[in-house]
Chain A
Amino acid sequence: MTDESTFTGQDYWSIVFRQLRKNKLGLAGLGVVVVLYLFAVFAPFLAESKPIRLVHSNPDDKPCTLCKDLGLSKKKLTLKDGRTFLGRIVKSNDETIVFDHDGVTETFDKKTQFAKAEDLPRQHGPITCYPLLSSLATVDLYLLVSLACILVGVPIFIVLRRRKWSRFASIRIAAAAALPILVVCSVLIHTRTSMLNKLNQVDFPRLAQKRLKAGDTALWPLIHHAPSDQDKRVLPLSKPYPWNLTEDEHARAVKTSEEWETGLKSHLLGTDDQRRDVVSMMTHAVRISLSVGFFSVFIYVSIGVFIGAIAGYFGGWVDAVIMRVIEIIMCFPTLFLIITILALVPPSIFWVMGTIAFVGWTTVARLVRAEFLKLRQQDFVQSARALGASRMRIIFRHILPNAVSPVFVSATFGIAGAILTESALSFLGIGVPIDQATWGNVLRIGRSCVETDWWLALWPGLAIFITVTSFNLFGEALRDAMDPRLKT
C-alpha cells in the first residue's frame, strides 16, 4: 500500500505514473509490447528475401547476370525530336516500339518518332544497390514513420515536463513536432516514383537461394525468407532443423546434395504446408495482430467515448435509446456477430478492424456514460455552465478529461481482446485473407496437421499468449495505478 501523504500537492496523473513505475510486472508487460512494436516496424529487416545492401563485383568482359536480375541493364532510347529515355524495350516490331521507362510504358512509331536505341555503357567496378530499401511497401514505410514520430514526440514531451511545463502544453508541442514528420513523410511516400517498385519484379527468392559469386557481398536480413516465399529446396512441413535428420532423412540429405540441407538449416522453426518459412511468417504476423489491436480499439474507443458522453450528459430519452441499443448489441454473442458480418464481405484486414470496432464500442460507451452521470452534477460543471460555456465545450473540455481514466484501462484490455478475436477469426479462416501471414492462419495450418506436425501449432499459440499476457499485465498495472480502490 502506498502512503497517500507523500503525494500531497501532486496531481492525479503524476500519482498514476509514479504508481505505474512501481509495478514491475506491468512494466515488463509494457516492455514486451514495445519489443513487439519494434518487431512490427522492422519486420522486413528481420525476415525478407531481399538483401538490404548488395555489392556486386562487376567483371568487365562478361555480361552481368545479376545486373540483369536486378533490372539494371538499361537502354537509352533517342527520339527524332531529341528526347531521350532510359529504360527497357518491352516489345518491338516493324512499325512500333514499346518502351518501358521508369515503369511507364509508351509506344513510339518507328518511322516518324524513333531514332535509335543503344545499350548504356556498361558500368565498371562494383555495383552497389539496396534492393530491400527500394522495395519497401507503403505499410512498411508508414510503420517506420510512426516510429520516427514517437522518437521525436516522446523525448520532447519528457524534456518539457522536466522543465515544469504544463502537461497540456507539453503534449501539444510534442504533437506539433511529430505531426509535420507524419505529413511530410506521407506526402513523400505517396509521391515516390514507381521506379523503386520495379525492383519488386526481380525474382529475389531465387536470388536468395543462389550462391553469390566470389567478390559479391550482401548484407542480408536476419532471416533470408519472405513470409510468402515457397522454398522449393525443402519438403512441405519440414521440421525445425536438427530434428529432421532422422536416418531416413539423412540418407535423403546425402543424396540430394547440400542444397537441401542448406535449405533446412535456414528454416529455424521449419516450414508450413506450402514450404513457407515459419519464423518469417511469425515475424510478419506481429504487424497484423498489433495493427488490428490498436486500430480497432482506437476506432471503438472514439465511437464509444462520443456516444457515451452524449448519453451521459443529456440523459432522458437520448440516454434511454442509446442504452437500449447498447443492450441489444451486448447480449449478442460477439464472435458470432463478427463472423456473420465478415463472412458476407470480401476478406480484408480493414473489415476485421471495422467489425471488431462495431461490436466493441458498447463497453466504452457504458463506462463513459457512468462517469458522465457521476460528474455532470459536480460543481465545476455547474460553474462552467454558469459561465456560459457551450454544451460541446463542457462535454469535451471539462467533463471528458476527468472521465477517461477507466477508458484507458478498458482500451488496454480491449487491445488484448481484439488480438485474440483476430487470431480466432484467422484460425477459423474468416476475415483476414487466408494466405496472409498471421498467427491465427499459421495455427489453422497447424491444426490441420496436428496429429503429425504438432510443433507448427505451438509457435503461434505461444506468440498470441505472450502478446495477450503483456497487454493484460500492463492493463492491470494501469488499473491499479489509476484507481487504487480497485487494487486487489
Chain B
Amino acid sequence: MTESPTQVRGPVSGEQLKSAALAALAAMGASAFLAVVGILPGLMTTLTWVFLCLSVLLVAVYIIGFQRTLLTFLTRRMLLMTLSFFGITILTFTIIRLAPGDPVSMEVGIGGGEGKGIDASKLTRDPGQAIRERLHMVVKHPFSARATDPDGDPLHLIFSWGDGTPEAQSENLVTSGGRQGVEHYFPNEGDYEVRVRAADVHGFESELSAPVQIRIREKWLPPRKPSAPSGPVKLKVGDEPPYSSAAESVDGELVSLRFDWGDGSFSPPTDPAPSGTPGARPHKFMKSGRFELRAVALGKKNARSPWSDPLVVLVEDPNAPHPRPGALGGTAYVHASEEREYSGRAAVDADVEISWGDGSSTRVKPGADGIFKSRHRFAADGKFIVRAKHVSDAGASDWSAEFSVRSSTTNHRPDVPTELTGPAEGAIRTTVLWQYVRWIADLARLDFGRSTSENKDVFVMIKERLPRTLFLDIVAFTLIYIIAVPIGIFSSTHRGSVRDRVITVILFMFYSLPTFWVGTMLIVVATPLEGLPIGNIYCSTPEKHYTGLGSHLFMSLVVAIAAFIAFFRTPRTRSHAFAFSLAVAAPFMLLYFLPFQMPWARLLPAGAQDKLWHGVLPVLVLTYPGLAALSRYARSGMLDVVRQDYIRTARAKGLSENVVIFKHALRNGMIPILTLMATILPAMISGSIVVEWIFNVQGMGLMAYDGVTKRDYPVIMAVTTISALLTLVGLLISDILYVLVDPRISFEAKND
C-alpha cells in the first residue's frame, strides 16, 4: 500500500481498516499488558517499558507502511504536544508557587543575628529549610576560602554565617593550602558578616578570619535598628517588668518587635504598629544573673532589622548567696607554648575564682563593665575544663558552665583561613521561572523530587500507584467502548421503539447521577451483602474467596443483562447480539468461577483474583458515566450515517442488513466516537480522584488529592505531569486512529 488515501472518497477501504484495526489491537495489547502488570506492582519494571516502546514502534511501522506523510504529521503533533505539555506544567507550577502563603512554616528560628556572641545551640533550625532548598525556592550563595595548617594536616573549613543559622562545615577534608567552598542561603534580609575558621583532623581550630560582607535584599526593606530596650535594670528573681523599644520602618510598613531576653528565651512579636511606636513585652526572669536584652524589629514579610544595642539587666536572688558567673570564652585550641587570655561575664560584683582544669586556679576581680579576665598557659597535652565561680565572704556560687580547652605540644593550630570570597549582594528567594527551569531539569532525569508530606521519593510513589489507577482506568475504558458501541448501534437501528426509549431513559439517568453518590450508595448496598469487597484494593489479605451473597447477586445481574441483550429480537443481527452478550459476560464469569481452583487458575499470580474483585465497584463507578455519554454519541453518530444515500444504495443492492449495518454504516458511524477518546481520558483521570477517595484505592487520584490538600508541591507537579502525558498520548492515538478510519481527512489536512 503506497498510494495516499487522500484521494479515496466514500466508505473506508478494507485494507486501511485492517491496518487500523491491527494498530489499535497492538495498542490494546499494550494496554492489556499494562493492566495485567497493574495487578502486580512488583513486575512494573523495565519489561513494561520495553514492551510499551515495542508496541508503539509496531503501530508506527504498520502505519508508515501505507502512509508516508505520517512522519511529518507525527513531528508536528509532537511539537504541539510539547507545547501543550509545557503550557500545562507552567500553568500548574505558577498557580501553586504563586499561591498566597508558604507551604512550609515561615516561622524561622528567631534569635542570634549579627554574630553577637549568641550561643548557636540556642537557635532552632528552621524545619522548612531543607524543603525549600530541595524545591529550589531559595538562593544559595557560594563562599570559599583557602586554609593552611603549619603541620600539614588535612583541614575542614567551618563557616559562621552571622545570620543566626548554625555554622556549616565543608563536607570533605581539604589538603593544607587548598581551597574549599560551601553554599548557604540567608533566610532573612540584612547585612551579614560571614567568617570562616579552619579545623584540622585532630579537632584543633583556628581563630575566625576577617569577615566578608554580604547584603541580602528583598522587596520588603527591613526596619531600622531598634533602640536598645528600656526598663528596670536591677531586678529580683520572679519580677515581671515590661521592656519597651521602638523601631522605624524604612518603607512605611507596620513594624512589630521581638525581644531576646538574654536567658535563652524570646518574646512573641508585638502587634504590628506604625513606624516609631514603642512596643513593649513583659518578661519574668526566673534565674539570677546578668542578662543582655536586645530587640529586633520585624517589617512586612518578616523582613528583619539588625539586633539593637543591649540593655544589661542584673537579676538578683535574695535567697541564694551568689548566682554563678557566665561561662568563660577564649581560644579553645592552643599550642603548649602559647599563653592566651580567657574572659567571662560576672553575675555580681564579687571576686571570681577561675579553675583552669590543670590543678591551678586564679582569683580575679571583675572590671567595671562586669567582665573578668585572666591569661593562662596550658603546658601539658590534653583537654582542660575551664570554669569559674564567685567567691566572697558570704560564700561561693556554683561553678559556671564548662569551657574546654585543648592543648598540644606537637600539633599546631591551623592558620586563620585566607582569601575568603563570596558574593557581596544576594537575594533570599528565587524567581518562579528559575524554580520551573530547575524542576524541568530534574524532570529530565526522571527526578520528581521528594514528597514534602510523606518524605518519600515521588517517582517511587508513582511507580507504586500509577499501575493501580491505570488498571482501573483501562478496564473501565475498555468496558465503556465494548458496551457503548453495540448499545448505540442497537438504539439507532431500533429508533423510536420501546426498547430504544427504555435504553435512552436509563442512559439519561446514568448521565445525571453523581458518581460520588453512586459510589457511596454502592457501599451501602455492598456492605451487608458481604461478597463485593469495598475499596482498599492493595491492603487486604489475598487468597480470600469471594463467594458471599453480593458476588452471587452481582453475577446474576451480569448474566441477566447478558441474557437480556442476547434475546433482543432483532431478526438479522441476533448472532451478533449473542456474541456481544457473551463477550460482556465472559470476563465476569471467569472472575466468578476462579475461586473453584480450576487448574488454569494457577496461571494467574497469587492475589490477582482478590484484586480483581476489589476492582469491581470502582470500575463500575468509573464506567457508567462514560458509558452514558458515549452510547448517546454512538447512537447519534450512527443515525447520521444511516440516513446517508450510500446506505440506501447498499440496501437497494439487496445486501443483508448485517452487511449494511456492520460493514457500511458502522465504520463511518464510529468516527465521532474515536474523537471522544480525547475528552474521556481527562474525565477518567478526574473521575479517579473521586472514585479512589470513596473506595480508598491508594492510586494516583488519592495521591493527587492528598498532595493538593497537604500542599505537597512535588506530588502535585508529578501528578500533573503524568496525567498531562497520559492525556496527550491518548489524544495522539485518537488523532492517528481518526485519520486512519476516515480517509477524507488526511494527515496533510490535519497538519494544517
Whether B517 pairs with A331 at a CB distance below 8 angstroms is no
* A423 contacts across to B, CB distance below 8 A: 514, 516
- Which residues of B are found within 8 Å of A334, using beta-carbon distances? 682-683, 686
- Whether a CB of chain B sits under 8 angstroms from the CB of A290 is no
CA distance A205 to B386 in the complex (A): 72
User: Are B720 and A336 in touch, CB under 8 angstroms?
Assistant: yes
CB distance from A212 to the nearest CB of B (A): 40
Q: Which residue of A lies closest to B682 (CB)?
A: A333
Q: Which residues of A contact B88 (CB under 8 A)?
A: 328, 331-332
Q: Which of B236-244, B454-462, B701-709 lies at the interface with chain A?
A: B701-709
The segment from A164-172, A394-402, A464-472 found at the interface with B is A464-472
Q: Does A184 contact B (CB under 8 A)?
A: no
Contact of A427 among B83, B683, B690 (CB under 8 A): B690
A354 located at the interface, meaning its Cβ lies under 8 Å from any Cβ of chain B in the complex: no
A331-B678, A335-B690, A472-B512 given as contacts; is B523 within 8 A of A340 (CB)?
Answer: no
Contact of B524 (CB < 8 Å), options: A454, A460, A465, A468? A454
Residues of B within 8 A of A451 (CB): 523, 527
The verdict on A324 contacting chain B, using a C-beta distance below 8 Å, is yes
Find chain A residues with CB under 8 A from B724 CB.
331-332
B511 A472 Cβ-Cβ under 8 A: yes
The answer to whether A325 has its CB under 8 Å from any CB of chain B is yes
A339 near B521: Cβ-Cβ < 8 Å: no
B654 CB within 8 Å of chain A: no
Counting CB contacts under 8 A, is B209 at the interface? no
- Which chain A residues border B720 with CB–CB below 8 Å? 336, 340
- Inter-chain contacts of A345 with B (CB < 8 A): 99-100
Does A344 lie at the interface of the complex (its beta carbon under 8 Å from any beta carbon of B)? yes
Residue A428 contacts which of B99, B705, B711 (CB distance < 8 angstroms)? B705
Which residues of B682-712 have CB atoms within 8 Å of chain A's CB atoms? Answer: 682-683, 685-687, 689-690, 693-694, 704-705, 708-709, 711
Answer yes or no: B95 CB below 8 A from chain A CBs: yes
Which of A327, A416, A458 has the largest number of chain B CB atoms within 10 A? A327
Residues 16-51 of chain B, each 1 if its beta carbon lies under 8 Å from chain A, else 0: 000000000000000000000000000000000000
Q: Considering the chains assembled together, what is the distance between the CA atoms of A406 and B724 in angstroms?
A: 29
- A33-63 to B contact mask, C-beta < 8 Å, 1/0: 0000000000000000000000000000000
Q: Contact check: which of B91, B508, B524, B705 meets A328 at CB < 8 Å?
A: B91
Render A330-354 as a binary contact track against B, CB cut-off 8 A, 1 for contact: 1111111101110111000000000
Interface string of A412-427 (1 = CB under 8 A from B): 0000100010011001
Q: Report Cα–Cα, A443/B689, bound state, in Å.
A: 17
**Cα–Cα, bound, A427→B690 (Å):** 9
A6 at the interface (CB under 8 A from B): no
Contact A339 B514 (CB under 8 A): no
* Residue numbers in A under 8 Å from B679 (CB-CB): 330
Binary per-residue interface labels of chain B (704-726) against chain A in the complex, 1 for a CB within 8 Å, 0 otherwise? 11001101000010011001100
CA distance A328 to B485 in the complex (A): 29
Q: A340-B95, A344-B711, A420-B514 are in contact. Are A450 and B520 (CB under 8 A)?
A: yes
CA distance A454 to B523 in the complex (A): 9
Measured in the bound complex, the distance between the Cα atoms of B520 and A440 in whole Å is 12
How distant is the Cα of A461 from the Cα of B689 in the complex, in angstroms? Answer: 18
B397 within 8 A of A: no
The answer to whether B728 touches A457, judged by C-beta atoms less than 8 angstroms apart, is: no
Task: Assess whether B389 is interfacial by the CB under 8 Å rule.
Answer: no
Main SS class of interface, A: helix
**Which residues of A, 298-340, contact B by the 8 Å Cβ criterion?**
324-325, 327-337, 339-340
**In this assembly, does A187 line the interface, its C-beta being within 8 Å of a C-beta of chain B?**
no
Minimum CB–CB distance for A290 against chain B, Å: 16
Nearest B residue to A446 via CB reads: B520
Q: A340-B716, A446-B520, A447-B520 are in contact. Are A468 and B512 (CB under 8 A)?
A: yes
Q: Which residues of A contact B686 (CB under 8 A)?
A: 333-336
Q: Number of A interface residues at 8 Å Cβ cutoff, please give it.
A: 45
Find the A residue at minimum CB distance from B95.
A341
> How far does the alpha carbon of A344 sit from the alpha carbon of B521 in the complex, in Å?
31
A460 near B517: Cβ-Cβ < 8 Å: yes
Could you say which of B91, B636, B678, B711 has the most chain A C-beta atoms within 10 Å of its C-beta? B91
* Contact present for B711 and A486 (CB under 8 Å): no
**Pairwise interchain contact A340-B635, C-beta atoms closer than 8 A:** no
Chain A nearest Cβ from B611, distance in angstroms? 23
Q: Find chain A residues with CB under 8 A from B723 CB.
A: 332-333, 336
In the bound complex, what is the Cα–Cα distance between A454 and B80 (angstroms)? 48
Report chain B residues within 8 Å CB of A339. Answer: 689, 704-705, 708
Contact B708 A340 (CB under 8 A): yes
In the complex, whether A488 has a CB less than 8 A from a CB of chain B is yes
Q: CA of A331 to CA of B95 in the docked complex: distance in angstroms?
A: 17
Chain A positions within 8 Å of B512 at CB level = 416, 465, 468-469, 472
Contacts of A331 in B (CB 8 A): 84, 88, 678, 682, 724, 727-728, 731
Bound Cα distance from A344 to B705, whole angstroms? 12
Interface membership of A430, Cβ < 8 A: yes
User: Is the CB of B509 closer than 8 A to any CB of chain A?
Assistant: yes
- Are A428 and B727 closer than 8 Å at their CB atoms? no
Q: Which of B100, B508, B520, B679 has the most CB of A within 10 A?
A: B520
A423 to B690: give the CA distance in the assembly, Å: 11
B711 touches A464 (CB 8 A): no
**How many angstroms from the CA of A451 to the CA of B727 in the assembled complex?**
36
Which of B100, B524, B685, B690 gathers most chain A CB within 10 Å? B524
Measured between alpha carbons, how far is A325 from B86 in the docked complex, in Å? 11
**Least distance between A362 CB and chain B CB atoms (Å):** 11
Taken together as a complex, chains A and B put the C-alpha atoms of A428 and B83 apart, in Å, by 32
Known: A443-B516, A447-B694. Contact between A333 and B727, CB under 8 A? yes
Interface residues of B in 631-683 (CB under 8 A from A): 635-636, 639, 678-679, 682-683
Q: Does A468 contact B708, Cβ atoms closer than 8 Å?
A: no
Q: Which positions 518-570 of chain B face chain A at CB distance < 8 Å? A: 518, 520-521, 523-524, 527
B87 within 8 A of A: yes
Nearest neighbor of B709 in chain A, beta-carbon distance: A343
B92 contacts A by Cβ under 8 Å? yes
| Closest residue on chain A to residue B679 by CB atoms | A330
How far is it, in angstroms, between the C-alpha of A447 and the C-alpha of B694 when the chains are bound?
8
CA distance A488 to B507 in the complex (A): 14
Indicate if B513 sits at the interface (CB-CB under 8 A). yes
B174 CB-CB contact with A under 8 Å: no
Judge if B582 is at the interface, Cβ distance under 8 Å.
no
Which residue on chain A has the smallest CB distance to residue B89?
A328
- Contact yes or no, B95 A344, CB < 8 A: yes
The 5 closest A-B CB pairs, nearest first, are: A461-B517, A344-B99, A335-B686, A328-B87, A454-B524
- Beyond A333-B689, A333-B723, A443-B520: 17 further Cβ-contacts under 8 Å? A324-B83, A324-B87, A330-B679, A331-B727, A333-B683, A335-B686, A335-B689, A336-B685, A336-B689, A336-B720, A344-B100, A344-B711, A345-B99, A428-B690, A461-B514, A464-B517, A486-B636
20 contacts between A and B (CB under 8 A): A324-B87, A325-B87, A328-B87, A328-B88, A331-B728, A332-B91, A333-B686, A334-B682, A336-B685, A340-B95, A340-B96, A344-B95, A420-B514, A443-B516, A447-B694, A454-B524, A464-B517, A468-B512, A469-B508, A473-B508
Residues of A within 8 A of B (CB): 324-325, 327-337, 339-341, 343-345, 416, 420, 423-424, 427-428, 430, 440, 443, 446-447, 450-451, 454, 457-458, 460-461, 464-465, 468-469, 472-473, 486, 488
